[in-house]
Amino acid sequence: MDEVIRARGHEHVSAEHASTFEVTSDDYLTPAGDCILGIEADRVPADFDPEFVAACQSADATVTVTLEAGGHTETVTGRGHPDLAFENDRSAVGRTSDYVDDRTILVDADKAAGDLDRDLVAALADGAALTVTLTVE
């Protein structure tokens, strides 16, 4: 089961955060947003299908995020969590920890923004279109 978010990069994408990555529906990004990969997201967690949400609420679920921009692809794998609510109407956050709030889309991710391929990050900093595909199994 998949959910797809389309967003775009921004000149301030630095992807230096050590424990999270984020895509936001906001139309701006400051240099302080070092976990943000894309802005102007066309969908947010509150838009996700209830069946997808229910599948992600299993502690046994594997959640895979595929990031595609500028001809580069990166995959991040994490897991679901019973407390995932998918209620946020602004941003989606992947976390390497097991912390959960209304923005969290997966926990125990094997990569954060700072771990991503630098060519992908450079494409995003140049404003490339970003496709984020979330898959739950």
DSSP string for 5-63: EEEE--TT-----SSEEEEES-S---TT-TTEEEBS-S--GGGS-HHHHHHHTSTT-EE
Q: Which domain does 121 fall in, by range?
A: 2-136
List the CATH number of the domain containing 71. 2.60.120.630
Give 62's pLDDT tier (boundaries 50, 70, 90).
very high
Whole-prediction pTM value?
Answer: 0.97
Mean pLDDT, residues 82-87 taken together: 97
Instruction: Give the mean pLDDT of the chain.
Output: 98
CA distances from residue 4 to 1, 49, 97, 124 in whole angstroms, order as listed: 10, 11, 23, 17
pLDDT score at 85: 96
User: Count of domains in the chain?
Assistant: 1
